[in-house]
Amino acid sequence: MIIKEDNRVGPAVCCECGDDAKINDSGKWYCGMESELGIFNIKGYCIKKRKKERKNKNDKEKKFKQSN
């Protein structure tokens, strides 16, 4: 469990979707986190936003395939 230290800025919620945030990355809270190059390079991201982007990408690819 991650301790939410910075109570002064209010409840820690994801800046994209408003869910409970897990990590503060460059001053912004995110509901998801990932590590690119191991534990010392953890980045925050919004799980919901990413899902949406993936879906949009898939939809575009589908349309492209259908039109050919």
Residues 27-66 that bind Zn ion (CB under 5 A): 31, 46, 48
> Quick check: 21 and 36 in contact, CB under 8 A?
no
C-alpha distances out from residue 44 to 19, 54, 67, 68, Å: 13, 17, 37, 38
Rounded Cα gap, residues 15 and 58, in angstroms: 25
Select from 13, 17, 33, 42 the one that contacts Zn ion (CB under 5 A): 17
State yes or no: residue 14 binds Zn ion (CB under 5 A). yes
Closest approach of Cβ 27 to Zn ion, in Å?
16
Q: Which residues make up the interface to Zn ion (CB under 5 A)? A: 14, 16-17, 19, 31, 46, 48
